[in-house]
Structure 1
Amino acid sequence: MFFNKFLKTFFDFIFPIECVGCGKNGSFLCPGCSAKIKIIPVQTCHYCRKLRAFGKTCDQCLSKNRLDGLFILGPYDQPILKDAIHAWKHERVKEIGNILGLWAAKNLNSSLFQSSIIVPIPLHKQRQFDRGFNQSEQLSLILAQKFQIPAKTLLIKIKDTEPQSSLNREKRLLNIRGVFAPAKDAKLNGENIILIDDITTTGATMEEAAKTLKKSGAKSIFGLALAHGS
């Protein structure tokens, strides 16, 4: 135990842990900076932008889409949140995911999770191998523990696609089409699902996942994302 503590102290000295927001030592995202992340004040129907509680899809849009709602915590273009998510995903700083998960839980209403199952948006197995983890799965486990509801892997990604962030809207819709399939043990019979992802822009990924889960027997699909990209 002493040796492990010594190693941690040594590596912290050689490679100091610094906040992505302010550079302060001691945490990858300090409490002061996480408190500065702006929350989207009002939620809207993702498709037509009408004001809707919890981001519920309006009746008119729901007749043409599968996603029953999409709740987004903050805008991605704010530097602290953007830098934190980038370091988490692309620099593989998993601890930031834990901090963002707790930040999300603090800013979410427990009523959103009642009688639901949390399901992470999956990565293709090659992408997950390269990154070492699935950020949506990490976030899902934190929220499931916080709100005392199950988290299950009910989807798999069967095609390794280009990153959505590199494509325009039209190409994003084509890029994500048909990429999800139900997991082998996915047995659904009228469940309410909350899909978890880190960033959403067009909502194409969430919509495609919702389509797959509803075909498998889910009753309702609600999306939840940390950030809204542009």
Structure 2
Amino acid sequence: MLRSVVREWLSWVYPFVCELCGRGGLDGCHVCPDCRGSFVPVEPPFCAVCGEPAEGSFIPSGLCRRCAVALPSFEEARAVYVNTGSLRDLLLAFKYGGAVHLAGSFAQMMAEAVRGNPHWFGGKKRLIVPVPMHRGKQARRGYNQAQELAVLLGEELGWPYAGVLKRLPDTLPQASLSREQRLRHARKIYAADEKRMKRSPVRGRDVLLVDDVFTTGATADSCARLLLRSGAASVCVLTLARTHHAWRG
């Protein structure tokens, strides 16, 4: 009830006009169809596990080179768009610029992708878990963008939600690390929140880990590993966007 009241209040503060072109009269969304049409979708062929778009021909297994060498802890990761252009600008505003009102629009896009691809994630209804943010950082920012997406995605799909992971104190910016360094580092900065695990156990549950952007997969792999250790039956990953080297810059 409280969340619906807050969303109604936000709709008055941020009327439904396109965040990119200013077009008004939108129905519960902050991106008009024309501007959304400029977003680059992640389309097949892509890696059957991590979702990395193919560069040339895939190996017979359908895996990218990284997953063919070492599979991540999660079963399947999917993203709706490539993190480039105007979408990247919106995500930066959402993540760092206080544009939390964009969460509803982004969650709608993610829910549409799930409904439009019923074969994703084994076709199972899943427990939605957000990638956590350190509580000090969240207090300064005022919100965790992954949590905002996860809660609203759960409402869109009618799937349960549980915030059962936590991030430990850390001062090393991951953006400065290589993929291999991120993998090692990420395993040190995330942990299961034991109190919340007792209230919302994941044991035996199929989990969908949610974040805004999939970059190297280090965060997703670390969080999936923790969820599996806590008894999750399986872990899949959904993000609005993913970084793809062919589109960087």
TM-score range relative to shorter protein = 0.7 to 0.9
1:202 maps to which residue? 216
Aligned 8 A contact 1:180 1:209 in 2: yes
Match status 1:72 vs 2:76? no
Distance (whole Å) between structure 2 residues aligned to residue 110 and residue 143 of structure 1: 15
- Structure 1 residue 20: Cα displacement: 4.2
Counting aligned pairs with the same residue, the percent is 28
Classify the secondary structure of the residue corresponding to 1:176. Answer: helix
Contact in 2 for aligned 1:105/1:146 (Cα 8 Å): yes
Name 2:35's counterpart in structure 1.
Answer: 33
1:185 to 177, 191, 196: 196
Letter of the 2:38 counterpart: K
Structure 1 pair 73–116 and aligned structure 2 pair: CA distance change class (3 A):
same
In structure 1, give the amino acid aligned to 2:21. C
The aligned counterpart of 2:169 is 159
CA distance 1:85–1:22, shift in 2 (3 Å) = same
Q: TM (normalized to structure 1)?
A: 0.79
| Equivalent position amino acid for 1:156 in 2 | K
Distance 2:51 2:93 in 1: 30
Structure 2 residue 21 is matched with structure 1 residue 22: yes
Q: CA deviation at 1:47?
A: 8.4
1:169 corresponds to: 179
Structure 1: give runs of 5+ residues left out of the alignment.
Answer: 1-7
| Contact preservation (8 Å) 2:51, 2:79 | no
Q: CA 1:63–1:217 in 2, change beyond 3 Å: closer, same or farther?
A: farther
Check if 1:121 corresponds to 2:123.
Answer: no
Provide, for residues 27-64 of structure 1, a one-character-per-residue CA deviation record: whole Å limited to 9, x for no partner: 75333212332211124132886589xx9999x85975
What is the CA–CA distance in structure 1 between the aligned matches of 2:63 and 2:160, rounded to whole Å? Answer: 22
**Residues 41/76 of structure 1: CA separation in 2 closer, same or farther (3 Å cut):** same
The number of equivalent residue pairs is 215
Change (3 A) 1:200 1:63: closer
Report the Cα offset of residue 116 of structure 1. 1.3
Mapped contact 2:77–2:236 kept (Cα < 8 A): yes
Matches of 1:189 and 1:57 in 2, distance apart?
A: 30
CA RMSD of aligned residues (A): 3.1
CA contact (8 A) 1:29 1:84 kept: no
Question: Which structure 2 segments of 5+ residues have no match?
Answer: 1-10
Report whether the alignment pairs 1:90 with 2:91.
no
Return the alpha-carbon distance in structure 2 between the equivalents of residues 133 and 116 of structure 1.
Answer: 24
Shift of 1:19: 4.0
* Displacement of 1:162: 3.3
Q: Which amino acid aligns with 2:41?
A: I
Return the letter of the residue paired with 1:213. Answer: L
CA distance in structure 2 between the partners assigned to 1:197 and 1:38 by the alignment: 18
- What TM-score does the superposition give when structure 2 sets the normalisation length? 0.74
Alpha carbons of structure 1 residues 47 and 40: separation in structure 2 relative to 1, 3 Å: closer
* Correspondence for 1:3: none
Contact 1:34–1:103 (CA under 8 A) maintained in structure 2: no
Q: Which residue of 2 aligns with 1:131?
A: 141
Return the offset for 1:23: 4.7
> Is 2:69 the partner of 1:46?
no
- Distance in 1 between residues matched to 2:202 and 2:64, nearest whole Å: 22
Structure 1 Cα separation of the partners of residues 103 and 240 of structure 2: 11
Distance 2:69 2:184 in 1: 21
